[in-house]
Amino acid sequence: MAKPPTPEAEDRRRICRERKVLVSERTSHANRIKGLLFAQGITGYDPLRRDRRERVNDLRTGDGRVLGRQLKAQLIRELDRLELLFEQIKSVEAERDALLAADVADTPVALLLDLKGIGPESAAILYTEGLFRKFDNRRQVAAYAGLAPTPWRSGSIDREQGVSKAGNPRLRTTMIELAWLWLRYQPESALSRWFRERAECNAGRVRKTTIVALARKLLVALWKYATAGVVIEGAVMKTA
């Protein structure tokens, strides 16, 4: 039986969800600025750099001309909207950190933040989108994130159809990203070694498929760690 979250839990989710929307809008504005400049033969300009406004005055088109008046004005307005998004993202992150600091004693967030490779955003999404619920076994955890396998059998046919993708898409996306980060920051853990053994056996051809399997295993391991205190084998803590 699916149990809806409480109004307080649902309201707590909004911070991470809003940040994800703002980051997506920031990427769209940055790409739009790059597209405007690329049409003039200008490459190498990064709208996310701190000196973005100063560099606008030094830009030259592919044939050496200065930027047109209207084009430069449009770029300035795009930068205004981009910088507004910077401020909003900073404000949302400060609110998120304050909420985590207030709830850290009563939630698994403190345990998650102790692991190397897991930051405030990943810990907040893991808790607010998944680990605040009660699961009876690892299959329920994987199914809720949409990372459970979906085998299909009919007579003598036995085929694996991949993951179901029927669960929480925000949690699933975060776990895929976190799986790549886990390989980088926890290279000596048992999960990382498991991934490398299978990737090397297949000459790297199944890395994208195997990373999904690693994301499922990592989510189950984090669930056991956050709820029952089962330490992940080979994991390194930030305080170590």
The confidence score (pLDDT) of residue 76 equals: 95
**Domain end: 82, 103, 124, which one?**
103
3-state secondary structure the chain: CCCCCCHHHHHHHHHHHHHHHHHHHHHHHHHHHHHHHHCCCCCCCCCCCCCHHHHHCCCECCCCCECCHHHHHHHHHHHHHHHHHHHHHHHHHHHHHHHHHHHCCCCCHHHHHHECCCCHHHHHHHHHHHHCCCCCCHHHHHHHCCCCEEEEEECCEEEEEEECCCCCHHHHHHHHHHHHHHHHHCCCCHHHHHHHHHHHHCCCCCHHHHHHHHHHHHHHHHHHHHHHCCCCCCCCECCC
> Is 237 within a domain?
no
* % of the chain residues with pLDDT over 70: 92
Cα dihedral 179, 183, 187, 188, rounded to 10, equals 30
Q: Say if CB 234 and CB 188 are below 8 A apart.
A: yes
The confidence score (pLDDT) of residue 203 equals: 63
> How many folded domains does the chain comprise?
2
The confidence score (pLDDT) of residue 100 equals: 80
Q: What confidence category does residue 47 fall into, taking pLDDT thresholds of 50, 70 and 90? A: very high
**Domain end: 85, 103, 121, which one?**
103
The confidence score (pLDDT) of residue 9 equals: 80
Q: Picking from 18-27, 84-93, 110-119, which range would have the lowest pLDDT averaged per residue?
A: 110-119
Q: Say if CB 233 and CB 189 are below 8 A apart.
A: yes
Q: What confidence category does residue 109 fall into, taking pLDDT thresholds of 50, 70 and 90? A: confident
> Is 233 within a domain?
no
Same domain? 181 vs 204: yes
Same domain? 85 vs 16: yes
* % of the chain residues with pLDDT over 90: 50
> Is 240 within a domain?
no
> Is 54 within a domain?
yes
Cα dihedral 92, 168, 136, 127, rounded to 10, equals -10
> Is 235 within a domain?
no
> Is 206 within a domain?
yes
> Is 1 within a domain?
no
> Is pLDDT of 23 > 90?
yes
Q: How far apart are CA 159 and CA 145, in angstroms?
A: 22
> Is pLDDT of 240 > 70?
no
**Domain end: 76, 103, 130, which one?**
103
The confidence score (pLDDT) of residue 2 equals: 65
Same domain? 28 vs 97: yes
∠ CA 136-208-34, nearest 5°, is 115
Looking up tokens 């985590």, which residue turns up?
100
Same domain? 128 vs 209: yes
Burial of 183 (0-12, 13-18, 19+ CB in 10 A): buried
Same domain? 85 vs 61: yes
Same domain? 113 vs 221: yes
Q: What confidence category does residue 208 fall into, taking pLDDT thresholds of 50, 70 and 90? A: confident
Same domain? 131 vs 217: yes
Mean pLDDT value across the chain: 88
Q: Say if CB 16 and CB 128 are below 8 A apart.
A: yes
Same domain? 14 vs 28: yes
Same domain? 98 vs 124: no
The confidence score (pLDDT) of residue 104 equals: 64
Same domain? 115 vs 220: yes
Q: Say if CB 149 and CB 185 are below 8 A apart.
A: no
Tell me the two tokens of residue 54. 């100063």
Domain interval for residue 117: 109-228
In this predicted model, which residue has the larger pLDDT, 208 or 66? Answer: 66
The confidence score (pLDDT) of residue 216 equals: 93
> Is pLDDT of 103 > 70?
no
> Is 47 within a domain?
yes
In this predicted model, which residue has the larger pLDDT, 152 or 88? Answer: 88
Which of these, 227, 240, 148, 152, lies nearest to 189 by C-alpha position? 240
Same domain? 117 vs 216: yes
pLDDT digits (tens, 9 = 90+) for 50-101: 999 999 989 999 899 999 999 999 999 999 999 999 999 999 999 988 888 7
Same domain? 98 vs 117: no
